[in-house]
Every structure is written in C-alpha cells, then in structure tokens.
Copies of this chain bind each other. A is one copy, B any other.
Amino acid sequence: MDYRRFVDEQVADVRKTVGDAIAINALSGGVDSSVCTALGHKALGKRLKTYFIDNALMREGEPQRVVGTFKKLGIPVELIDSRKEFLGALKGVTDPEKKRQAITDTFYKTVFSRLVRESGARFLIHGTILTDIEETVAGIKRQHNILAQVGIDPEKEYGYGVVEPLKTLRKDGVRKVAKVLGLPDEICQRMPFPGPALSARIVGAVTEEKLKTVRAATAIVEEELAGMKVFQYMAVLLNDYATGIRSNKREFGQIIVVRCVQSVDARVASVVRVPWAKLEKISKRITDIPGVNRCLYDLTPKPPATIEYV
C-alpha cells in the first residue's frame, strides 16, 4: 500500500467533508489520535481545534508530555481538565461494558458537546481503526470511538458529524502513516493505550485510590520493559485481595498483573517470555507499592484472553 498516497487522499477527503466549517478532535497521545491530529492539521490548519481531555485516567505526567510534543511540531493542543466529570461518571461502576459506556457518554455527551458548542465545530475527526470496528461489530468489546457502526447517528445524537480517516487501517498501517506525516518516533512507535485509559486496567470500580496504585505500577512496568521490542506491556489492578505477610503480620493486599504481548495488529497476540530476572525485579518493585502484596504475570495469548482486561 502507498501510504503517501493514502495521506493525500485522506487530507483531500477531510477538506471536502469539512468544507469551510470548523472541526475538532481529541488527542490522547496514542498513535491513532496523533495521526488524526497531524492529518487534520495538514488538511484544515487553524480550522482544526485539538483538545487533550484529562479524564483522570491518564498515566503519570501524560497530559503535559503529549501537549508538549505537539507544541514542538507546531500543532496547538488545548488541555481540558475534565477529571471530576469522568470520576463522577465512573463512581461505583463495576461492569466492564458499563465502564466503557460511562466513559463514552462523558466524553461525547458532556465534554465534547460543550467543546463543540464553544468552538462552533460541525465535525469531529476520530481515530477509529479497522480493528475497533471489527471487535465492536463482533460484540467482543465496545470501543469508545465507535458510533455509526453500532447504529448511533452522531449528527442527530450529538449535533456533529464524525470523520474517521483511519477506519480502513490496522495498527501497523497507522504507524506507517505516522511516519509519512513526519511524526517523531516516540509517537510512531508508541505502544497502544486503550481509550478508557487506566480504567481499562482496573478490574471493578474505579476510584482515585486505585488509579494511584495502577498508575504507580504502570510507571514501573513501562520503565522496566522500555526497550523490549514488543507490541504492548501494561499493569492491571485486580479487584480481588489475597492474604500476605509483611513485617511478620498478616496483610490483606491488592494484586497487580503484569502483561507483555507481541502482536502485529492486536487481532491476535502472544505472550512474551520476559527474562526472569526482569520479572523478579518488576515484582519486587510492584510489591513495594503501598497496599500491593502480589504480582502476577499473564500467560494467556489472545484469544482466549483479550490484551486488555476490561
């Protein structure tokens, strides 16, 4: 496939669809939304308003880092603090699909409707990729960026049209487009990170306390496994507790799962044989997080598991 031509076609298509109107998009820092941002900026210049929504579910320092990266590329991104809205919507929600739904609703209905109104935008550019559509249609999990595919007319429902320039690509294709667009390696090669962010890494209800724990574990796993040439690695906080022992006393503690998988396009994934010394070091560091006394390694390929837990 000729990705240079793909970019030209999509730029032309975005220009044609949006016309003289204003479009907005949300940047998460992942390769999909980064490509949408660069592509949309190429097509529309200042008529694209890009927002980074801080949904309280991001990794350590992520909002500031992503905004900074795009600033260097000459693409302005506005940071929107929506932490309270998302935490409020997620409160007490334990079912994975309802969690995703709460995030979708908060994202589109609460935060984005407001940004659309304030910006006067008529279009949303969205980084849906082919795998998202397939998994949603197959009923495996609802991706938060799928609307038309599940029978929602965003024009009617939310008051704006949705443009999805990447919907024919898989992850590997998106990375090639990122390269063509001149995005830096930290974005082209960036690991996938789910739309529901760290809430997809918490089994059960999301709380600020649990976000803090999984955020700390995520930082450890990402630091220790940086340099592994693999598709994705992550830390997941389970809802279960197990008995442990610390300073000779019983401690009923939390459990972190480390997952590290190889994949081309996220459709199937195999488990990486991470060196034992590395796993032992990760386990040691993770069980130093207050409240955590178990660290497990996920041995399950996709299928029968998915890459994420929620």
A contact residues vs B (CB 8 Å cutoff): 96, 138-141, 203-204, 238-246, 248-253, 255, 257-258, 271, 273, 276, 279-280, 282-283, 287, 293-306, 308-310
B276 engages A280 (CB within 8 Å) = no
B253 adjacent to A304 (CB under 8 Å):
yes
Query: How far, in whole Å, are A2 and B250 apart by their CA atoms in the complex?
Result: 34
Contact B279 A309 (CB under 8 A): no
A282 CA / B245 CA spacing, docked (Å) = 28
In the docked arrangement, what's the CA distance between A308 and B244, Å? 9
Q: Is the CB of A138 within 8 A of B249?
A: yes
Residues from chain B with Cβ under 8 Å of A244 in the complex: 300, 303-306
Q: A238-B240, A243-B141, A245-B140 are in contact. Are A304 and B276 (CB under 8 A)?
A: no
Q: Is the CB of B287 within 8 A of A300?
A: yes
Contacting residues, chain B, for A302 (C-beta < 8 A): 245
Give the contacting residue for A243; candidates B96, B250, B258; CB below 8 A. Answer: B96
What is the copy number of this chain in the assembly?
A: 2
Q: List 26 A-B contacts (CB under 8 A).
A: A96-B243, A139-B249, A140-B248, A140-B250, A141-B243, A203-B240, A203-B241, A203-B242, A238-B238, A238-B240, A242-B305, A242-B306, A243-B306, A243-B309, A245-B306, A246-B303, A246-B304, A258-B299, A273-B276, A279-B299, A283-B299, A283-B300, A287-B305, A293-B304, A294-B305, A295-B299
B296 adjacent to A245 (CB under 8 Å): no
Say whether, besides A96-B252, A300-B287, A242 and B309 are in contact (CB < 8 Å). Answer: yes
**A62 → B minimal CB distance (Å):** 24
Least CB separation from A135: chain B residue: B245
Q: Which residues in B have their C-beta under 8 angstroms from that of A140? A: 243, 245, 248-250
Q: Which residues of B contact A298 (CB under 8 A)?
A: 294-296
Closest to A303 in B: B245
Q: Are B299 and A204 within 8 A (Cβ)? A: no
A100 to chain B, nearest CB (A): 10
In the complex, what residues of B have CB within 8 A of residue A204's CB?
240
| Bound complex: CA A248 to CA B96 (Å) | 18
Residues of B near A273 (CB, < 8 A) are 276
Known contacts A283-B301, A296-B300, then 10 further A-B pairs from the complex at CB < 8 Å, ordered by chain A residue = A96-B243, A96-B252, A138-B248, A141-B250, A243-B309, A244-B304, A283-B300, A287-B305, A294-B300, A296-B297
